[in-house]
Amino acid sequence: MKQHWSQNAIFYHIYPLGFCGAPEQNDFHSTAVPRLDKIKDWIGHLRDLQVNALYLGPVFESTAHGYDTADYFWVDRRLGTNETLRELVQELHRNNIRVILDGVFNHVGRDFWAFRDVLQNRENSLYRNWFKGLNFGGHSPYGDPFAYESWNGSYDLVALNFNEPAVKEHLLLAVRQWIVDFEIDGFRLDVADCLDLQFQRELGSFCRSLRPDFWLMGEVVHGDYRRWANPKTLDSVTNYEVYKGLYSSLVDKNYFEIAYALNRQFGAGGIYRNLPLYNFVDNHDVNRVASNLPNPAHLYPLYTLLFTMPGVPSIYSGSEWGLEGKRTETDDRPLRPNLDLETIRQNAPQPGLEKTIGRLAQIRQGSTALKAGNYTQLFVSHEQLAFSRQKDDDQVLVLLNAAETPTAFEFPMPLDDGTRFVDLLNSGESFSITGGRLRVESVPTHWARILQVAH
């Protein structure tokens, strides 16, 4: 069976409205400004990181933050025109980078054209059945003479009614435009754990009828990922279960936490062994990982694990330099700053991290085992973790040391004496099996070894 392209992907995540410095509010009448063009200047950087898939946060016309859609058929004028996006996609494709858009299909903003019609025509609106829980016997928090369901209590986000065939028809018509006319490669489905599951199945079938290799990934925070990621629905989901353990195991000096999650998901009896889950250490919704780590040196074993564990790795724009950012109870804008490539390079909090991530990505791309191999834990302690990845004749061992001092590793390996492992991360170093055991005298402080069987 041919492997889907996503299993060979290294993703880069950009939230365009913040990244491109767009105004916080859309006035719906200003001339479009092609701010998306800025991303073209980053393509060389993406290639240096071995990135071959770009996930763009919301680009559809919206009121404020992008998740409050006003029109699914047009690029937000704060980012440019449809032609701006079309040219960007073409340029990215010329550089062998696929493009994933944010599919915000569960809800719309109050400026969505059909909801505006309900505001104007009320019971007489042709679109009164488009919105979930619309009730003319009540009032909304905005003072409307009707009530409606929102997403998560945010009444600027109006829930769509998927029992209304015209809603699904409208969304699929927009999806067709972005796939056929813009040649995008996939959608990340916002709040997939809330989005009508039958619609997700219909969407999957529809997208793959247009492009068999089209990729669908859902934002899922809780639950059994197999409910969404399966042959009839989506290809992948966000791996929030592992997200927390990736950093908190370092903060708490407790690699047992992440080791448990990795075994549960990908070990011998792992429940997600055949799912290429979307792995990340931060994104546009959560604190930058550098803000979660008291010791910035831990970024190095952290990203080593991200690029060597099962699943598909994703980098959030700016975090490859150790950029910090924390959300508050009322404001998440610090997570989504306007980024200038040269400025951030000159002022990088962790100037060596960018090249390390590029090196890790290069190692991953050169190893069948790291992209699609099984997962076997070899050793775990509070600040050390070792595991094996194997696919066919490619075997890779990953040794992580988060401690303040160098550490030795030793464990049995059922391989012939003299079998040699080459260190891909620390070039020129190698280690051999002796007496059925592998001993590595030292893994440096806050660092790792990635050992591949030499053939």
CB atoms within 10 A of CB 302: 25
| Mean of pLDDT values over 107-115 | 98
pLDDT at 74 over 80: yes
Q: Do both 275 and 395 map to the same domain? A: no
Q: Do both 154 and 207 map to the same domain? A: no
pLDDT at 116 over 70: yes
Buried b (16+ CB within 10 A) or exposed e, 309-323: bbbbbbbbbbbbbbb
Q: Do both 227 and 338 map to the same domain? A: yes
pLDDT digits (tens, 9 = 90+) for 84-101: 999 999 999 999 999 999
Residue 168 structural domain: 5-109+161-368
Q: Do both 142 and 89 map to the same domain? A: no
pLDDT of residue 308: 98
| Mean of pLDDT values over 408-436 | 94
Q: Do both 148 and 166 map to the same domain? A: no
CB atoms within 10 A of CB 226: 13
Average predicted confidence (pLDDT) for the chain:
97
Beta-carbon contacts of 39 under 8 Å, excluding residues fewer than 6 positions away, are: 14, 16, 19, 20, 54, 88, 92
| Mean of pLDDT values over 105-115 | 98
| Mean of pLDDT values over 285-313 | 98
Q: Which of 315, 346, 368 is the last residue of a domain?
A: 368
pLDDT of residue 331: 87
Task: Tell me the pLDDT band of 118, cut-offs 50, 70 and 90.
Answer: very high
Three-state DSSP state, 28? coil
Q: Do both 294 and 223 map to the same domain? A: yes
Q: Do both 262 and 379 map to the same domain? A: no
Q: Are 451 and 439 in contact, with CB atoms under 8 Å apart? A: no
Task: Tell me the pLDDT band of 1, cut-offs 50, 70 and 90.
Answer: low
pLDDT of residue 95: 98
Query: What spatial distance separates the first Cα and last Cα of the chain, rounded to whole Å?
Result: 26
pLDDT of residue 455: 84
pLDDT of residue 3: 81
Task: Tell me the pLDDT band of 106, cut-offs 50, 70 and 90.
Answer: very high
* CA 259 to centroid of chain Cα atoms: 21
Q: Which of 368, 390, 415 is the last residue of a domain?
A: 368
Q: Do both 129 and 188 map to the same domain? A: no
Q: Do both 117 and 68 map to the same domain? A: no
Q: Which of 368, 399, 433 is the last residue of a domain?
A: 368
Q: Do both 353 and 399 map to the same domain? A: no
Please report, for the domain that includes residue 339, its CATH number.
Answer: 3.20.20.80
Exposure on the CB side of residue 433, measured as CA atoms within 13 A: 18
State how far the Cα of 187 lies from the Cα of 235, in Å rounded to an integer. Answer: 10
430-434 and 437-443 beta bridge pairing: antiparallel
Which has the closest alpha carbon to 188: 284, 114, 270, 81? 284
Lowest mean pLDDT among 1-5, 74-78, 146-150, 425-429: 1-5
Q: Do both 363 and 379 map to the same domain? A: no
The total domain count for the chain is: 3
Q: Do both 123 and 187 map to the same domain? A: no
| Mean of pLDDT values over 151-165 | 97
State how far the Cα of 283 lies from the Cα of 289, in Å rounded to an integer. Answer: 9
Residue 183: both structure tokens together: 């040649």
pLDDT digits (tens, 9 = 90+) for 218-251: 999 999 999 999 999 999 999 999 999 999 999 9
DSSP code of residue 179: I
